[in-house]
Amino acid sequence: MPETLPVDPAGTGASTDSDREARIEQLLLSGLDHYFAGKFDQAINIWTRVAFLERGHGRARAYIERARGAQAERHREHEELLHRGVTAYQSGDMHTARTLLTRAIEEGGPTDVALAFLQPFGDLQESVEYLTEKGDKRLPKLMTDSSNLGKDNQPFDAGDKRRMNNLGSRRWHTDQSFKMRPVKYSLLCARTVAKQGGETQFADMRGAYDALPGELKERITDLAIEHSLLSSRSKVGFTDATELEKARLASVHQRLVRRHPRTGRRSLYLSSHASHVVGWPLPEGLDLLYELTDRATQPQFVYTHTWQLYDAVLWDNRVTMHRARRHVPETDPRDMRRVSVLDETNTLAQPV
């Protein structure tokens, strides 16, 4: 006759009533640990399991109620911080805005904060991740994943194409200049900071323009530049675009010299996505683009940002270029998340 198996209809993993009670007690305590660590979601999940195992468990229900209250209070405080931060930013009080928004990011989800912060400034850019399958995306559609991590939050393997594709951000560029309506503002949030390297550098394209010789300024004022993602990808070794990709990634034209609509200052609009000067012989146009990029990225125009956990850096792509510095992508996780606002029009439709 076969041995009788222990019966455990509730699925607690316990075989007797006392085991079951002990297990429930353990779950209640584990929920409290999460609760006092501020992890209300996990606490509620655990206590919900207890309430399911033992229908109407009074303590579990009371705990869940309390955790929901704490969650609602945190959400309210978070919204308040965010609202005050955005108001301070809009009134030009950068110090207060920085303090409040940093707290909001530390205490809330950076995804929600970044999206809510930028939403009032215009249309948000949908992320473009050509090498990521639909189901493998880590972040929401309006957030660009600038990390070296897969959906399992582990660094990409050495041969992973997504890792090589990230090398594109190591070249000086402005975000999405290959789009008809390029990106205006970008907000980059640091969720895991690389242990070594991985800084972001910014080049001031207003200062670079101001420092150009007068005759060069005159020569370039009305030039249009062709930009395409195929061009920048080819610069990091992706030269095997399919016909479909070529059709999807049609190039666009942008102004080389822009005028900022608020300050009235002129600046250079360059990017690794720039392929040539419209209407010029290719070598002559490339020569100009190389020279302007060299001039614009001299040390006196460059700021290097060394990331701290939860930093959020906001920049205006209309007056800057940026690039990421080297780190060790196969072993050193770097989790950076970007949200961006689109410019109103193509740059050629803007007065210079």
Which of 145/175 has CB closer to Fe ion? 175
Q: Judged by CB under 5 A, how many residues of this single chain contact Fe ion?
A: 1
> Is-contact 114 339, C-beta < 8 A?
yes
- Binding segment for Fe ion (CB under 5 A), chosen from 134-142, 174-182, 232-240, 280-288, is 174-182
> Is-contact 224 288, C-beta < 8 A?
no
Which of 175/316 has CB closer to Fe ion? 175
* Whole-number Å distance between alpha carbons of 176 and 290: 20
Q: How far is the CB of 258 from Fe ion (least distance, A)?
A: 18
Q: How far is the CB of 340 from Fe ion (least distance, A)?
A: 9
Q: How far is the CB of 49 from Fe ion (least distance, A)?
A: 43
- Binding segment for Fe ion (CB under 5 A), chosen from 40-48, 77-85, 172-180, 296-304, is 172-180
Non-local CB neighbours of 156 within 8 Å, separated by 6+ positions: 148, 149, 150, 162, 163, 329, 330
343 lies in the binding site for Fe ion (CB under 5 A): no
Q: How far is the CB of 214 from Fe ion (least distance, A)?
A: 32
Non-local CB neighbours of 74 within 8 Å, separated by 6+ positions: 38, 40, 107, 108
145 lies in the binding site for Fe ion (CB under 5 A): no
Crossing angle (nearest 10°) for helices 110-118 and 58-90: 40
Q: Are strands 224-227 and 252-255 parallel, antiparallel or unpaired?
A: antiparallel
175 lies in the binding site for Fe ion (CB under 5 A): yes
> Is-contact 343 183, C-beta < 8 A?
yes
Which of 186/347 has CB closer to Fe ion? 186
- Nearest-CB residue to Fe ion? 175
| Site of interaction with Fe ion (CB under 5 A) | 175
